[in-house]
Structures are given as structure tokens and as C-alpha cells.
Structure 1
Amino acid sequence: MAGSTLGNLFTITTWGESHGAAIGVVIDGCPAGLSLDEEDIQIYLDRRKPGQSRFTTARKESDKARILSGVFEGHTTGTPISIMVENTDQRSRDYGKIKDCYRPGHADYTFDAKYGFRDYRGGGRSSGRETIGRVAAGAIAAKILRQLGITITAYTRSIGDIVIPENEYHYDQITENALYMPNNDYAARASDYLAECIRKQDSSGGMIECAITGVPAGIGEPVFHKLDAALCSAVMSIGAVKGVEIGDGFQAAAALGSNNNDSFRLDAGKLTKATNHSGGTLGGMSDGSPIILRAAVKPTPSISQPQDTVMRTDCQELTDTTIEITGRHDPVIVPRAVVVVEAMTAVTVLDLLMRNMSSRLDSLIKFYRS
């Protein structure tokens, strides 16, 4: 199976299935000398693990990270880092009755079309549990970025039609509610909305916003490997994400150049922008402003309502049928996906920072002749 690796210099390869023995990631290109232990990774994994609230799946997984290689005496060695998380609460029997059905909104049909075979237990590689490897790698990337003065903050901007206005963000409240929203009042309203979704055996989507600060100007490539294109590609690779925008995003289509352009100005001798409609990128490169990214997350496709679909019979013929999906599923994916967006952003920015080290001769001279 191709397509499980991301990055050029700082690369990650995720492995494992939802109902297999374990799931994890191999990280290559991490510099030697980084202080790292399993707790650094666990902090991130705890933000995405199941069973955190009534709005997440009841699957009971501790999601304990185990570092298998690449760390010695508390520091990275420069060799590949392998991280494993065991699956301990698989209930494959939940999927036995629908193993021949193509679940609406899932990758069942496309996996069958591509490989002629699929792991029906929770979706296999297309399961949300695959993101464990991404989050573990993102924890390492984020720790490196913090040493460079770069911080990444992701949060839930909206659930359904409940959207927090930007002037009502309170970042200190993000971890005070189960939905990771930067406003507890809006989180309470969203909770009531989700409770109604559960009552109706339905699910909801939402929007995740991510702010990256401290990235110097000039990171990213001006043609095929633009910073915004790389970020969108990485975040769009998260299974439930159906759209990504940078800055004003799709609103820019209705704007005028006179109000969409960000004017430059000097502030204490430093070049800055008066506004940030571009979301921190210009020409595919960072401009020194905060990078603002948003990801649209679809409603959880596994719902208990009857749904029309198609199944494959014992004779390998296709026939119409109706299914009702049972088992343990999140009524909303957004809260647990917040840290996944953060992780993919960290991995992407770090990889581009490393690539940027060779863009200027004076940087090479400074590094090798200092």
C-alpha cells in the first residue's frame, strides 16, 4: 500500500489498523539531541483518545505510547523513531453483520474497488485510529518548533451552525470544555445541539481553526511546494476533512482587491501588515504574520438511522439493502480531530523549515563555517 508517508526531510510513516494488534508511526529525519520521552507524546495522544466525554466513542483505549527506537538516555539519536500504541478494546463483532455492506460515507466501496479486498473491522487503515501515528509524530515536531519560538494553537471554531465570532475567542477556555472551543458559553450551546443530534440518532460536523505564530518570513516554496498548498494537503489527508482554507479563504472570492490586499507598514522599524486577509502566506511563502488555517470536518458517517446502501452477496452479486450501524461511534468527530489538525500542521511546518535551510548560500556558510 503506497501513500502512508508524508514529508521530505522530516518524514512520518503511519502503520496499523483500527482492529489490529497495534497502531503507530515511524519518524525519520528528527535531529539528534532533542530531549524526548513517552510523556511528551502522551500529552498529545490523551487529547484525541476515546471516552473523554459523552460526545466521543465509548471505546475504552488507554492509547499509551511506547517508544521502540531512536531515543537513548532521554534524547533522540538522529535515527528513525518508532512509536507503537497497542489496541486493547477491539470489538470486531460489532462489524460482523455489516461486513458485506458498503457503509454510506465510509471508504468501504472505494477500498474494495482499489484492492478487491478490505478490512471491514472499523474501516482498517481508513479508520480514525490511524491518526494516532500522526498525533505522536506531531508531538515531536511541535516540541522542536517550540524551541524555535513557533507555537501552534488549534481549537473548535464551530459545531453545526453554532459559530464563535472571532471577537469572542477566549483561548484560555479551550481546555475548559469537552469540545475544545475557545468560549465556554458557545460550547454549552453546542453541547445542547449535540445532545439533540444523539437523541435523533444523528451526527454533526464542524470547523477547526488553527493559528501558527512565530514562523519567519520566507518559509515554503514559490511554485509546487507552497506553504499553503502543503498545509492544505496535509490537513486534507485527515479522513473526515472535506475542505481547507487559509486566511479569508473562500470569502476572498467575494472581496475587492482594495480591501483584500494587506497593506505593509513599519512598526518600530519592523515590516508588518495592517491586516491578515492572506492568512500569513504570500506567493506560497510565509510572510511573518500568524498563519490561519481552517478545516471543515464532515458529520460522523456512522449513525444509527436506517440508510440505503448496497451489499455483496455470497455469490458476489450486488443487491440493494438497508443498514442500521450499531456499535461505538462519535456523534461528532471535531473535538478529537483538533489535535490531529495541530499535529499535521506541526509536521508540515517543520519539514518546510528544514528544507529552507538550503535556500541561501549565506545560510550554508554560516552553518558550516561558524
Structure 2
Amino acid sequence: MFGKYKPMWGEKTQLKSSYDAVIIGGGLHSLATAYYLAKEHGITDVAIIEKNYIGFGGAGRNTAIVRANQRTQYNVPLYKEALDLWPVLTKELDYNLMFNNCGNLNLMHSEAAMKAARMTICTAQYHGVESHLIDAKEAKELVPALNISEDITFPIHGAMFHPPGGIVRHDAVVWGLARGASKYGVEIHQQTEATAINTRNGKVVSVETDRGTINTSKVLISAGGYSASLINKMMGIRLPVSVLTIQAMVTQPLKPLLNHVVSSGAYHCYANQTLKGEIATGAHMDQWPNYTTQTTAHYIKHQAEALSEFLPCLRGVRFMRIWGGLADMTPDMAPIMDGNDQVEGFFFNCGWGYFGFKSCSAAGKHMAEFMANGEAPNILKPFNLKRYEEHKLMGETAALVTYTPDN
């Protein structure tokens, strides 16, 4: 006979009438923030409120790629710290996160792209991140399956090789952080919907849920693609965020053939081989704001055509599963991590687009410091909301994002 079932992150607890801090959203940024609040700052009386189940959103709907080869001086240090934390967290949590720093190979398909890559590499190297520009032949030495001939739509001119990057098992990170946070006393309440945040005299005083009122002086909304609409609904703050669907899929299992993560901006395609041998591949985002996670035949066709060109050995391989997730995009493709000058104790973390998984460890660590001390750490200050009012966009990419009133 097996013993009584016990969740990995502890026995289910009753929702209390008050907590020192409440975090709305059960994704990786929320879990990491709660973990570091308890571990680093001794704030253990924390409730994570999740409408569905932990890992429901982007945390469980990504292709598990991690890297620190972003473009701007503000982003690179944050992602570098996140990348460095994976082996640290594996040890701290005593949980195998399956981190594999197999390296990222970003393909370049023109001389203009090669010149842009040089700038990105210089930024990375300046911040101590290993990154190299290589030619097409060197790229093929790293990935023998690459097609570097001239008879494809976008011939490969070279690549940006980022050895420290790789992949992490995303659901293992969800479970590991949940277990780690709960060991410090953090409570995780699934199937619990937050419906309102109450304030008094410019301070947060409570959170309304479908299971009752929670008295608290600190609230963080960190709910991935749903964050902007929740912040607007609960606090009346309208954010320059558009939510778009991004799709991914996996093939049938294959023998090892892809030793690195391979991506191409020209083809709007990226791929890595999982521990099960599947080729996990993702496409670009849908081009219109929406909250659906439905998938389309268009992207299956697109991925098959793209992979067949620069990885021709995959022709005839079958796709087995496809899924969709939500990407909350800002105009400069950089996140918004901020508090509210008008309401003490309210914090929000959103706008990560498709970079959220890559950053969750470091972002959670610094958001925990922000919540604990009430002062944004220096590394977070460039990511405040005021940058849009002051026209100080980061330039991570020339993203075209539709700003709609209902976001």
C-alpha cells in the first residue's frame, strides 16, 4: 500500500486571512520571487495565488532555451546572472533542473546581419559573456547537419556562437522552485482567483479572492501574459503591452544529431534536441494581439519548410505535438519591473515577451529585494514604466507592437 499522497511542495494548506506578502500568478517569476523573499530576506509568510495551477502559462509552454546574448547593456547583465544561477539553484534546491549548457548558435544570413552580430558580441564580451562570431564553415563544424550551400532561400553567411547558453527543463524549474519556496513556509494556493486589490491612504491593505479577503501590505502581480489586463483591472494602470500567441512543436524522437540550440531570425525558427531525442522547435509570434493558445496549420507548414532548408536531414520527420503560449510584448521587447509611486506596497513584473523563462531566476531574486526593501535594485531601475513616458526605450529590437485600449 502506498502512503497518503503528498504534493511535492507540501501539504495543501487553508488560505489564511492575512500574509506579509501576496503574489498573484503561479509562474516561474512568482515562484522565484517567493523563494528569494523567504531565503534571502526572511519573509516567509507569503501566499502565491494562482487561478489555475502552477506552471499553467508561459512556464509550461516554452522551448526551455536559456541564453545571455541579448543586445543592450541593460539586458545582458540580467540574463547573464540568470544563466549563472542555474547550476547554483540546482544545488540549493537539491533538485535536478536538467541544465545543459550546450551552447546557442544564432545563424546569420547576410553581411548586414553579420555586422549587427558583431555589435551584439561586443556588448556581450564587455559584460563578461562569452560570445563569438564564426563563419559558415565553422558553424557546420559545430552542427554537421547544417546546410551551408547557396541554393536555399537564406544562405548562411556565419553565426553568433554563445557557448554558455543552452536548455533547462522548464517543468523541473517549476517544481523545484515550488518545493524550495514551500520548505521556507511559502504557501501555494492553486485554483484560487485574485479579483481585486484594496488600498487605503495610498497603501495596499488587502487582496480579494474567490475564497475570501486576504489582508496584506505587499502585493506583486506577476502573471505572465495575463499581467497587463490584471494590472489595468485591479489598479487602473494601462501598460504598453500587447499579448500575442507564440507556437511551438516537437518531432518524433530521433538519434542525437543536434548538439547545440540553433536559431535563425531570417527563417523565424529555432530548434534544439530534447533529452528524449525530439526536435523542439518554435516559430515567430502571431501578428495580431489575442489571448488564445490555439495552434494553426500555418505554423506547422512554416516550421517544416524552414527546418527542411537549413537542416535538410529532418525532411520527412513527423511532428508529434504542437502547442501555443502567450507572449506579453512591450514596444522595446524589454520587461517592465516596477512599483507604484502612488500606492505603497504594490509591485508588478510583466512584459517579458518570449524572454521570460530565460530570466526568471535573476528577475525573481531582484524583485524579492525590491519587495523586501521598497527600493528598486540598480539592475532593475532601467526597466521601470517611466521609460516610455521619457522616450527611453531600450532598443532590444525594433519590435512593432500594437497598443490596444483593452490590454
TM superposition score category, shorter chain reference: under 0.3
- Of structures 1 and 2, the one scoring higher in RCO (CA 8 A, sep 6+) is 2
Length-normalised TM-score, structure 1:
0.25
